[in-house]
Amino acid sequence: MKIAVIGAGYVGLVTGTCFAEIGNDVICVDNDPKKLAVLKKGEVPIYEPGLDELIKKNVRAKRLQFSSSIKTALKGADALFICVNTPPKKDGGADLSYVENVAQEIAENLSDYCLIVEKSTVPVQTGERVYDTIKKNHKKGCPFDVASNPEFLREGSAVQDFLKPDRIVIGVSSARAEKILRKIYAPLKAKMVVTDIKSAELIKHASNSFLATKISFINNVARVCDAVGADIEQVAKGMGLDPRIGPSFLSAGIGFGGFCFPKDLAAFLHMANSVGQDFSLLQSVLDINDTQKDFYLQRIEKVLWNLRGKTLGVLGLAFKGNTDDMRFAPSIEIIKHLQKEGVKIQAYDPAAMVRAKEVLKGITYTTNPYDVCKKADALLILTDWDDFKDLNWEKIKKLLIQPIIFDGRNLYDPKKMKKLGFDYYSIGRAT
């Protein structure tokens, strides 16, 4: 199949590369000249394990190309996947102007049947808007279909998630569209869920919102554990063994971040309100997520007393481990708050420092995890990188002014840390 992918970001690049890997002819289009130049040089603009080799392999096999032109990519394409960004607007709604721009360009350049697929995360009824925009501005009048195919990959394991999905959701309004999407995904041998377009769009927002709800729920329980001296890990284990609850997404921490959960919850809430439906549960999920950072900061202030003039070492800046993505990373608000209070920050992240430097100024960035501890009053863990799981604690103890750790990701065993001589504070676990 010939496939066009518009937007070569975290989703588009993985989607395009994986479609090429399963035998399709793919052109990935991006209108960011810097990103395109990097891709054309054979480099990868994002950190995503396994993606580098897969891109190189498929470019060499001439199954994967990069372009700035939607017109070129559309020529002879059986399907076009829209993978552009859908950032949040001030009122929480999704900014769909990038999607609209692509739809306009498609309309101007479509000269033969093509299936237009929304893969970007969009509010329900966007498919109709995409269809109407193309229909209205379409020059040649050839037939086309619009479908929804939401993406469920996670950053950090995106390639694996894409190639071995739990399910593939396709929302279609014609047999032709269904046939094309089934053919494209056939090599993955995955469970297919075929729905109407609106239901597919809703599956995506509802899934992300539900996962985020689990996280806020467990974070709220963690606060109760903290207050009464119980252990959130034991509570989560005991809950998660019930198959109706399940063990995943019950890790307490400093709250969820990333370009997905915060904006998708806000967009879903906005959308529900716009059709007259109260969904205050989602507002509570967002509120708990916001105050979880305060909960963490209050502990730091309580233990260290005055913050002004103190130095804190920070391990981890990305919104989660295994990615360089800083969008809506909890580290940003936490660090900015501490800086406002007069704290000097020394930070290290295995992959996100280049991106962090764009949003977090006035920080001493170090080249290894130990240098952040030098003459620091305490150490903060803000991202769950595997690299941080096995550190030289004797060395860290000597480097810190005081052996104090505030672990925002519950990475270590409290008993072990105590035995090593640390004052160790984590989320919802007795120290």
Single out the residue of 377, 365, 219, 243 nearest to residue 291, CA to CA. Answer: 219
Query: What string marks each residue from 391 to 420 as x (binds ligand UGA by CB under 6 A) or -?
Result: ------------------------------
Which residue's CB is nearer to ligand NAD, number 56 or number 71?
71
* Residue 283 contacts residue 356 (beta carbons within 8 Å): no
Which residue's CB is nearer to ligand UGA, number 261 or number 412?
261
DSSP single-letter state for residue 187: G
Which residue's CB is nearer to ligand NAD, number 7 or number 428?
7
Would you count residue 319 as binding ligand UGA (CB under 6 A)? yes
Would you count residue 257 as binding ligand UGA (CB under 6 A)? yes
DSSP single-letter state for residue 186: G
- Residue 219, both tokens: 């974070």
Active site residue 260: yes
Distance in angstroms (rounded) separating the CA atoms of residues 424 and 404:
6
147, β-bridge pairs? 117
Would you count residue 233 as binding ligand UGA (CB under 6 A)? no
Would you count residue 153 as binding ligand UGA (CB under 6 A)? yes
Distance in angstroms (rounded) separating the CA atoms of residues 249 and 260:
15
Q: How far is the CB of 190 from ligand UGA (least distance, A)?
A: 14
* Residue 149 contacts residue 116 (beta carbons within 8 Å): no
Would you count residue 260 as binding ligand UGA (CB under 6 A)? yes
Give one DSSP letter per residue of 368-402, joined into a string.
STTGGGTT-SEEEE-S--GGGTS--HHHHHHHSSS
Q: Given 18, 225, 260, 373, which residue is catalytic?
A: 260
> Rg of the chain over CA atoms, in angstroms?
23
* Contact partner, 215, from ligand NAD, ligand UGA, none, Cβ < 5-8 Å per class: ligand UGA
* Contact partner, 6, from ligand NAD, ligand UGA, none, Cβ < 5-8 Å per class: ligand NAD
- Residue 293, both tokens: 């950072």
- In the chain, the amino acid numbered 193 is V
Distance in angstroms (rounded) separating the CA atoms of residues 411 and 401:
22
- Helix (H, G, I), strand (E, B), or coil: what is residue 142? coil
* Contact partner, 8, from ligand UGA, ligand NAD, none, Cβ < 5-8 Å per class: ligand NAD
Which residue's CB is nearer to ligand UGA, number 133 or number 292?
292
Would you count residue 292 as binding ligand UGA (CB under 6 A)? no
Identify which range of 151-159, 180-188, 387-395, 397-405 contacts ligand UGA by CB under 6 A.
151-159
Identify which range of 192-200, 256-264, 267-275, 369-377 contacts ligand UGA by CB under 6 A.
256-264
Which residue's CB is nearer to ligand NAD, number 32 or number 341?
32
Single out the residue of 178, 251, 182, 263 nearest to residue 221, CA to CA. Answer: 251
Q: Which of 121, 149, 366, 410 binds ligand UGA (CB under 6 A)?
A: 121
Residue closest to ligand UGA when measured from CB atoms: 260
H or E stretch including 81? strand 79-82
* Contact partner, 12, from ligand UGA, ligand NAD, none, Cβ < 5-8 Å per class: ligand NAD
Distance in angstroms (rounded) separating the CA atoms of residues 380 and 346:
10
Which residue's CB is nearer to ligand UGA, number 127 or number 403?
127
Active site residues: 260
Residues near ligand UGA (CB under 6 A) are 121, 151-155, 208, 211, 215, 249-251, 253, 256-258, 260-261, 319-320
